[in-house]
Amino acid sequence: MITLQNISKTFETAGGPLPAVSSVSLQIQQGDIYGLIGFSGAGKSTLLRTINLLERPDEGNVIVDGEELTKLSLRELRKKRLSIGMIFQHFNLLHNRNVYDNVSFPLEIAKVPKADRRKRIEHCLDMVGLADKAKAYPAKLSGGQKQRVAIARALASNPKILLCDEPTSSVDPQTTGSILAALKEINRDLGITIVIVTHEMNVVKAICNKVAVMEHGKIVEKFDLREKNIVPKSPIAKYLFNSEITLASGLEAHYA
């Protein structure tokens, strides 16, 4: 589904070149909920954004669903991005548009007919439990509701992949659980592959089946969380895996 081969990305700063990602390779299978975890500055968000070429890598190959994205024309890339939804940390909603029109926005860009847009928008809002908020504006919504609008907007174009960049870091712990439950339900019911960036191990433990630990622009360890007796070897992975589980039990209750 997603193959990253020897991805490197360096940013030019006032202090000189800053390597953000260095020779990273990663394989993500269809249907995975794959976590990228690490502390601030580890390179995880930059790596995530190479998957849809919001950050074009300096080196390496980005292969999504059998297509090498770096080889596509701008027109072809725009079409391909319709199959890759994205959720941001700070929601990125349009404040002068109500909920319905925020979800409509990517469909308008794709020139989807109005009648088809309406059906799709209503379906997406129903999926995230916000059908009754269609006419509300972002300023009147809670943080959790804003993020669910962002999820509905990302789902509007029927993506095969959902990229989530710190989707719970701007909401409270209780709301975090509801957002992760929504993402897990989307993965389960729609088969959408999810890649989620976080600095919180409890988020990974609650929702992911696989995780890669990043530090200084590199992946230091990878784990299949379905395996028993996981034994981290790197200092950062040991630290993260020793973090307490605070969300998994809540998600289990949600699906009981």
72 with 131, same domain: the answer is no
Would you state the pLDDT for residue 243?
Answer: 65
144 with 232, same domain: the answer is no
Q: Is the pLDDT of residue 235 over 70?
A: yes
146 with 199, same domain: the answer is no
Would you state the pLDDT for residue 124?
Answer: 94
97 with 208, same domain: the answer is no
CB 92 within 8 A of CB 168: no
CB 205 within 8 A of CB 245: yes
C-alpha 118/C-alpha 18 separation (Å) is 45
41 with 136, same domain: the answer is no
179 with 112, same domain: the answer is no
- Number of domains composing the chain: 2
Q: What is the pLDDT of residues 53-101, one digit of tens each?
A: 999 999 999 999 999 999 999 999 988 998 999 998 888 899 999 999 9
Lay out the sheet containing 59-64: strands in order across: 16-28, 2-13, 59-64, 67-68
The enclosing domain of 229 has a CATH number of: 3.40.50.300
Q: Roughly what angle, to the nearest 10 degrees, separates helices 114-127 and 143-155?
A: 130
173 with 79, same domain: the answer is yes
The predicted model scores a pTM of: 0.90
Which residue do the tokens 């390179």 mark?
A: 43
Q: Is the pLDDT of residue 244 over 80?
A: no
144 with 226, same domain: the answer is no
Its domain, for residue 105, covers 91-158
17 with 75, same domain: the answer is yes
Of 124, 158, 192, the one marking the end of a domain is: 158
C-alpha 110/C-alpha 211 separation (Å) is 33
19 with 69, same domain: the answer is yes
Q: Is the pLDDT of residue 247 over 60?
A: no
65 with 174, same domain: the answer is yes
Please provide the distance, in angstroms rounded to a whole number, between the alpha carbons at the two ends of the chain.
30
Which residue do the tokens 């990974």 mark?
A: 204
Would you state the pLDDT for residue 200?
Answer: 87
Of 99, 125, 158, the one marking the end of a domain is: 158
Q: In this structure, what token pair is assigned to residue 107?
A: 């469909």
37 with 72, same domain: the answer is yes
Of 123, 158, 193, the one marking the end of a domain is: 158
Q: Backbone phi, then psi, for 126, in 5-degree steps?
A: -65, -40
